[in-house]
Every structure is written in structure tokens, then in C-alpha cells.
Amino acid sequence: MRRFFWFVLLLLFVLLAACEPDTNDEGTSEPKLPPPDLPIAAHQAQKLEVGSTTEATLDPAGGSQRFGPTASGLDFTLSDADAPKRGSSSSEQETQTEALSAEEAAALLARLPDLPTADTADFALRAASLKPPLAGSDVQTPFPPNDTLPPPTAEALAQPSVLKVLRYQPQGVVADIPKLSVTFSSPMVPLTSVSEAHKGAVPLSLEPQLEGEWRWLDTKTLQFLPSKPLAMSTRFVVSAKKGTKSETGAILEEAFSWAFETPRINLTGTTPTGGDQELNPIIDLAFDQPIDARAVLNTVTVSDGSKTYGTRLLSQQRTPPGWATPGQSLAFELTQTLPKAANITVQVGPGTPSKAGPLLTETAPSFSFQTYGPF
């Protein structure tokens, strides 16, 4: 950048010097042109005064032009780059070189570090094409085929003499029972139409009896479809009598039965809960099945750990809104006032009954609340 600045400045000086008009003999300022027969170099060799402080001189022999101050200031020299400098020989302008021998070149290259080797990998070939399918051949066989097998023996045709129950469902406690089924080891009905198979006697019994339909899925599997949901809190027993006979003559040697049941009543909501309750609270209980309020209240116990409190039904039962179903809740009060700052526990069951079925609860769910303390 600094060299460019000086070059521009020098160019400005040259332009100013070339455009400076000379004063002719008549006293007027006109540009002084060289005569037609005078060479440009000779004309430029004449001394040109630029102002009163700077002069420019062209050296025709050396091809250089020198600018400099007469008294003080900067001194510039312009010369042709291809022309040799004054006082220098052509040998100084050109650099003499000499080619290295093979041994010297090898020694110089040996000083260089080894080039890194590139990782090589096998060429990625595509998977081979599948072989063309082989031509098949037609195998001629008679139809129907020739009966070359020996006829079955009497032992092979003999049916088992003992009838068994292979599979049955449902089992255990089941909330939703869309159907029940049982599978025997031997055909129980002849291989005929479905309507004819349904006309035969059913080898099973169900207690308590339910409204629904018995039907055969095949000659060995019998299914029952109830027409309405099964009652809750109820145990059902399916049984087959001893001596039940199959179509092939197999006999059930021992009576067979299995049982399943629907869920028993469960406590789903309670009030009050938490602390700072009044001393004569009304207690609400909600269940998931219809109840007899008085029968359920007989299984409820209220105590503070050292004393049990009596209970009585409200004269007018209520249904807590939002979390209880009519006919499935119970509201009662205590016959005695609770002490202050007491932890009260309410226990329901065991043995809580349900109006939906005869089964009683086997567990005793409980909850607690606290009365307010003294002021």
C-alpha cells in the first residue's frame, strides 16, 4: 500500500512537470514543443525547471529520468526495468544456476517427510444376480390315487372308553363374562347340521340358572351365551354328572364341576376426610353395587382407638352429588359426640352384603378423619 502511494505521488509529479508551460521570448506562456527534427530523448535531456525548487533530468544513455530538489526535498529516479543499471554488468543482472546431480537430488528428497498413505478398500461390487429359475416337470399321478395302504385295524378304530373334560372357561373372579365354554375329549353330538345338533340334550348344568342359549361350536365344544349381564357378588357352578356318555360310547367316570364368581361389593367413596372436622359429623359411604343401608350399617365400626361409637341411619337418606349412585350410598350419624383433637377411624366390613348377590366381602376397608382441637 505504501509503494502504491509513492507511485501515485511520483506520477503526479511527472504529469505536473510535463504540463508546466514555458515562457517564450514574447513573454507569453505557451507549451514548449520540441522541433520536428530534434529527437524526443534529446529534447527531454534539456534541463526543466519545475517551479523554483525541483528539477527533472532525462539520461538518454541510461534510459532513466531523475527528479530531485535543487536545495532540499525528495530525490526520485525512474528507469526501465529491462535496462541494466548504470555501472553494473549483465552478469550481475542474471543469476547463474547449475543443475543438481542425481545423488544430490536424492539426498535432498530424502530429507522430506513420508507422504501419508491413503486407505484402500475393495471395489464395491453389487450383489450377484439371481440364477434363472429351473424349468419344472409334470408328474403324472392317477386320481383318485391307488389304495395301497392296508385297511385300519379294529384297535385303530377303537374309541377311548373314558370321557374327559379338556378345557373350560371362565375361571376365578371375572367382572365381564360374555360367554362360557367347555371342550370334551370325544364327540358329544353327531356330525350333522347346527340346528339338529342344538336339539339334543345339554350334558352340563349351571347354578344359579341363567337366561341364555347353549350351542355346539363343533362335536366336542359346548358354549353358553347369557342374554343379560351376570349378577355381581355371585358364585356360579358348572357341572357334568357322572356317567355322561359321548356319541362314541365314552363315559365320564367321575362327576366334573368348576366354579367362577363375579366381583363382590367394594367401597368407592367416603366423607368426611382430613382434619378439623366437627364433633357430630354426618358420615357418607358410597359403593359400586346396590345395598341395603341397614344391613351395611351393621358392618360399620367407628372408633378413636380406645372407644367405639354407636351409629344410626339418617331419617332421610341422601346421595352425595357427583361421586355416588342412588341406591348405592349410605348416610349415618353417631349417637355420641366425638372428643376434640381425636383421630377417628371408620371401618366397613368384613361381611358387608350386596343386594346384587349373596357373596359377602372378605376384606375390611377403612378411612380416618380428625376432629378440631381446642381453641
Q: Which helix (H) or strand (E) holds 268?
A: strand 267-271
CATH of domain 267-371: 2.60.40.1220
Q: Do domains 165-261 and 267-371 have the same CATH topology?
A: yes
pLDDT score, position 72:
57
pLDDT digits (tens, 9 = 90+) for 122-138: 888 888 888 888 888 88
Phi, psi torsion values for 211, nearest 5 degrees: -80, 130
Q: How far is residue 357's CA from residue 208's CA, in Å, rounded to a whole number? A: 11
pLDDT score, position 95:
73
* Residue 323: DSSP 8-state: T
Instruction: Report the 10 Å Cβ neighbour count for 206.
Output: 16
Q: How far is residue 190's CA from residue 293's CA, in Å, rounded to a whole number? A: 53
Phi, psi torsion values for 182, nearest 5 degrees: -145, 145
Q: How far is residue 183's CA from residue 139's CA, in Å, rounded to a whole number? A: 43
Q: How far is residue 252's CA from residue 256's CA, in Å, rounded to a whole number? A: 8
The size of the chain, in residues, is 375
Domain-wise residue ranges, the chain: 2-81, 165-261, 267-371
User: Which residues are within 8 A (CB) of 336 and not within 5 positions of it... i.e. 6 or more apart?
Assistant: 309, 310
Cell 382430613 maps to which residue? 274
* Residue 12: DSSP 8-state: H
Among 97, 98, 55, which residue's Cα sits nearest to residue 74?
Answer: 55
- DSSP 3-state of 41: helix
pLDDT score, position 255:
94
Q: Is the domain covering 165-261 a CATH 3.30.450.20 domain?
A: no
Q: How far is residue 337's CA from residue 304's CA, in Å, rounded to a whole number? A: 12
- Asked whether the beta carbons of 236 and 259 are under 8 A apart, the reply is yes
pLDDT score, position 93:
56
CA 360 to chain CA centroid, Å, is 47
- Asked whether the beta carbons of 240 and 255 are under 8 A apart, the reply is yes
pLDDT score, position 142:
82
**Block mean pLDDT (10 aa), the chain, length 375:** 74 72 50 48 43 46 50 64 57 73 90 82 84 82 76 72 91 89 90 73 90 90 92 94 90 93 94 92 94 94 94 85 85 93 94 95 95 87
pLDDT digits (tens, 9 = 90+) for 329-341: 999 999 999 999 9
Question: DSSP readout, 89-126?
Answer: -HHHHS----PPPHHHHHHHHHTSPPPPPPP-----PP
Q: Is the pTM of this model over 0.85?
A: no
Task: Pull the grid cell for residue 182.
Answer: 367347555
